Amino acid sequence: MGLLRLSYFIFATVHICHGTLHQSFSEVESAAPYDFIVAGGGTAGSVIANRLTENPNFRVLVLEAGPSNEGVIDIDAPGLIFNLQKSPFDWNYTTVPQAALNSRSLAYARGHVLGGSSSINGMFYTRGSSDDYDRWANITGDEGWSWNQMLPFILRNEHFTSPADGHSTTGQFDPAFHNFTGNTFVSLPGLPDPLDETYLQTTNDSNGEFSFNLDMNSGSPLGLGWLQSTIGNGTRSSAASSYLGSRFINRPNLDVVLNTQISRVLTLGNGSRIDLRMVEFKSGTSETLYSVTAKKELVLSLGSIGTPHVLLNSGIGDKNELEEVGVHPILHLPSVGKNLSDQPDITLNWFVNLTVSPVNATAALNQWLETRTGPLANGIVNHVAWGRVPETSSIFQNVSDPAAGPHTPHFEFVLVSRSPQTLPTGESSLGLEIGMVTPASRGSVSLKSNDPFDTPLIDPAYYKDEVDLLIMKEAIASAERFFAGPVWKDIILGPQGAFSNVTDDQSLVQFIRESSDTTLHSVGTASMSPKGAKFGVVDPDLRLKGAKGLRIVDASIMPIVICGHTQAPTYAIAERAAELIKQAWA
C-alpha cells in the first residue's frame, strides 16, 4: 500500500474532534458582536487571532473557508507533503495560460484548511535578505519595515528546536540569529542523507561561487547551507498548530468558525470615508448569506489570491475594470489585484551513479506514528544554495538588476537530497530545482465574473520581463558548474529527460518555456505604499487606503517578493500588524 493510500486510510478511520472549533456560523451567531473579525484563518490570520486575544477585553471571530487541520496525517507528517496538493485541503486553483510558457496553465495550490498554506506548504523556513526588508522600508517610507526593526517580529514567531533525530547541530546554524521560545517550531534536517557530505564538499570546490553559509537566515543568505524547516518533534508546525493549537483555542474571547467562505466586505453608513467593518459570507452547508460587523476592525487575511479577489468582488479596485464584469465600484483603487510578484522554477535532472535504497512506505509510516522519526519526520531537502548572476555577466548592462541589494541572491538551488530515483530502466536520477527568486515580471489577480464564489483569474505572468528569462539561463549554467566539480566526477553521468535535449541557446530557451513551473510564492496584490500615495492598496500601517475599519494582513501587502520562501516573512508581517492594531486600540 502506497504512502498516499495508507495515510488517507488512517485519516479516514481516525476522527479527531476539536470541540472548540465551530463547523458553521450558526453555532456562534448569537455570540456577536465581536471587536475584531479576522477573515481567513491562514498563516497571518492565525497570528492576528492569537495576539489580539492575549488581551481578554478583545473578542475575536475568525472565519476560515476550509476544514480543521486536526488529525490529518498528510498535514502532520512532513514527508507526506506531496499528498496535499490537489486534495480537499487545496483550493485547486489554475493559472490562466502563460504566454511565456508556451500557453501552458499551471496548477496553483493554496491552502484550504485552518492554517492556510502553512498547513500544506513545503515547510521551508527562509527569511530572505536584509536588503529585501530595507527595500520595503524605502518603498513605504516606514522604517518599521526595515530588517533591523522587523527582526524582533521575525524572532517572536520562531521556536528553534532540536531536529527529529536529536543529533548535534553545532556548525549547522548560528544560534545568535534565532529564538528558542516563540510559537512556530523551526528545526534542521533530522535524517542524514548519503549526499550530505558531497554537497558540503562542493562549497570547497566551487571557487567561491557557493561558499558554505553557516546560517542562511542571518540576513545574508548567499551560499550553501543546511535548510531550516517549520518542523518540531518530527511534525509539521503550521500557523494552526502553533497559534491556534490546544494552548490557545479555548480562550473564552476567541471563536474560530470553519467551512465559511467570504464573499464581500460591505459598507456601513454614509460618512465621508467608507466604513468597511462588515463582512458577508456563506457558512457550513447553507446557501444563506450571513453578514457580521466588527466593533473595531475587520482584518482581511485571505492571502495573495483570496484578499484581492474579495476586494474586487466588493467593488474595491479599478472602477472601469469592475464595471466591465458587472460589479458596482465603491472605492477606486486601481492597484488592487495588480503587482503580483511570483518566482518561477524549473527542475533539472541528471543520471547518477548511485545505489538507491527505496523507502518501505508501511514501515516509514509506522515509525512516524510510533516515534515521530524517520523518513516521514522530514522534508525531502537537507541543503539549499543561493546564488547571484556573476559580476562579469552582461545581463545588467542594459536592464536594471531586480535584486534588492548585494546580499540578495537571484536564484535558489533546492538540493533534493533524498531524490535519487530509480527509473523504470533501472538507472538512477538526481534532481535539482532552481527558483528564480528576484523576478521583475508582474502579474495580476482579476475577476472571471461578478459571482463572488466564482474562481479568480490568476496570472503570474512568468518571464513577462525578459530579465527573468536571462537570469534563469544564468542559473542553469551555474547548476551545471555546480555538478561539474571534482567531488561529482564519479557520480554525475549526464543530463536526463528534457534537459538532455539542450544543445544551444535556442533549445535552452525552449526547455525553460516548456519545463518551468511555479514556486507558489505570490505576493503584492494588495501592496503597501507610502501614506497618501496614489498607488498601492494599503498604507504602511496596513489600513486600506480611502476607507476606515479595514486592515489587510497577509503576503499580499508585500510590495515585492523576498528572495526566498514567503511563510517566514508572512509570520513576521502578522506579528508586527498585531502590534500596530493593539497600539491603535490601547
Amino acid identity, position 54: E
Measured between alpha carbons, how far is 374 from 165 in angstroms, rounded to an integer? 8
Q: Which residues touch 135 (CB under 8 Å, ≥6 apart)?
A: 404, 405, 559, 560
pLDDT at 420: 54
Measured between alpha carbons, how far is 180 from 155 in angstroms, rounded to an integer? 9
Model confidence band, residue 390 (pLDDT cutoffs 50, 70, 90): confident
Measured between alpha carbons, how far is 145 from 160 in angstroms, rounded to an integer? 23
pLDDT at 30: 86
Tell me the CA distances in angstroms from 344 to 108, 348, 434, 547, one per residue in order.
Answer: 12, 14, 8, 35
Check if the beta carbon of residue 377 is closer than 8 Å to that of residue 234.
yes
pLDDT at 421: 59
pLDDT at 416: 80
Model confidence band, residue 391 (pLDDT cutoffs 50, 70, 90): confident
Buried b (16+ CB within 10 A) or exposed e, 75-85: bbbbbbbebbb
Question: What is the separation of C-alpha 23 from the centre of its chain, rounded to a whole number of angstroms?
Answer: 26
Residue 537 has pLDDT above 50, yes or no: yes
- CB count, 10 Å around CB of 210? 24
Measured between alpha carbons, how far is 224 from 201 in angstroms, rounded to an integer? 10
CA torsion sign for 138, 151, 551, 186 is positive
Residue 6 has pLDDT above 70, yes or no: no
String of DSSP letters for 389-424: --TT-SGGGTS---SSSTT--SEEEEE-TT--EE-T
- CB count, 10 Å around CB of 379? 22
- Encode pLDDT of 417-452 as tens digits: 655 556 667 678 899 999 999 999 999 999 999 999
Measured between alpha carbons, how far is 462 from 472 in angstroms, rounded to an integer? 11
Amino acid identity, position 157: N
Measured between alpha carbons, how far is 531 from 382 in angstroms, rounded to an integer? 42
Check if the beta carbon of residue 343 is closer than 8 Å to that of residue 333.
no
Q: Is 261 helix (H, G, I), strand (E, B) or coil?
A: strand
Q: Which residues touch 388 (CB under 8 Å, ≥6 apart)?
A: 222, 403, 408, 409, 410, 411
Measured between alpha carbons, how far is 358 from 420 in angstroms, rounded to an integer? 10
Angle, helix 3-13 to helix 361-371, in steps of 10 degrees: 40
Among candidates 449, 395, 405, 368, which has minimal Cα distance to 220? 405
End-to-end Cα spacing for the chain? 56
- Angle, vertex CA 272, rays to CA 270 and CA 277, nearest 5: 60
- Specify the residue for cell string 487571532: 49
- Encode pLDDT of 133-192 as tens digits: 999 999 999 999 999 999 999 999 999 999 999 999 999 999 999 999 999 999 999 999
| Most confident listed range (202-216, 412-426, 502-516) | 502-516
Angle, helix 505-515 to helix 466-482, in steps of 10 degrees: 100
- Encode pLDDT of 472-494 as tens digits: 999 999 999 999 999 999 999 99
String of DSSP letters for 46-95: HHHHHHHTTSTT--EEEE-SS---TT-HHHHSGGGGGGTTTSTTB--EEB
Among candidates 124, 131, 167, 165, which has minimal Cα distance to 148? 131
Angle, helix 43-52 to helix 567-584, in steps of 10 degrees: 30
Half-sphere exposure of 20 (CA within 13 A, CB side): 14
Least confident of 5-14, 215-224, 441-450: 5-14
Model confidence band, residue 31 (pLDDT cutoffs 50, 70, 90): confident
pTM summary value: 0.95
Model confidence band, residue 226 (pLDDT cutoffs 50, 70, 90): very high
Cis peptide before 33 (omega within 30 of 0): yes
Tell me the CA distances in angstroms from 79 to 74, 116, 120, 380, 418, one per residue in order.
Answer: 8, 18, 11, 7, 11
Residue 220 has pLDDT above 60, yes or no: yes
Tell me the CA distances in angstroms from 476 to 286, 332, 435, one per residue in order.
Answer: 51, 43, 10
Check if the beta carbon of residue 459 is closer than 8 Å to that of residue 444.
yes
Check if the beta carbon of residue 79 is closer than 8 Å to that of residue 377.
yes
Residue 12 has pLDDT above 80, yes or no: no
Average pLDDT over residues 3-30: 58
Percent of the chain clearing pLDDT 90 (strictly above): 89
E strand or H helix at 467: helix 466-482
- Encode pLDDT of 331-381 as tens digits: 999 999 999 999 999 999 999 998 777 788 999 999 999 999 999 999 889
pLDDT at 380: 84
E strand or H helix at 298: strand 290-300
- CB count, 10 Å around CB of 267? 18
pLDDT at 218: 98
Measured between alpha carbons, how far is 561 from 370 in angstroms, rounded to an integer? 39
Among candidates 79, 50, 418, which has minimal Cα distance to 256? 50
Cell of 216: 542562511
Cell of 497: 529527460
Amino acid identity, position 389: V
Query: Environment class of residue 268 by beta-carbon count within 10 Å: exposed (0-12), middle (13-18) or buried (19+)?
Result: middle
Measured between alpha carbons, how far is 43 from 529 in angstroms, rounded to an integer? 22
Measured between alpha carbons, how far is 26 from 281 in angstroms, rounded to an integer? 12
pLDDT at 423: 63
- CB count, 10 Å around CB of 504? 8
Among candidates 371, 297, 299, 309, which has minimal Cα distance to 337? 309
Least confident of 4-13, 343-352, 378-387: 4-13
Could you give the residue numbers annotated as active site? 521, 565
Model confidence band, residue 94 (pLDDT cutoffs 50, 70, 90): very high
3-state helix, strand, coil in the chain (%, to 5): 30, 25, 45
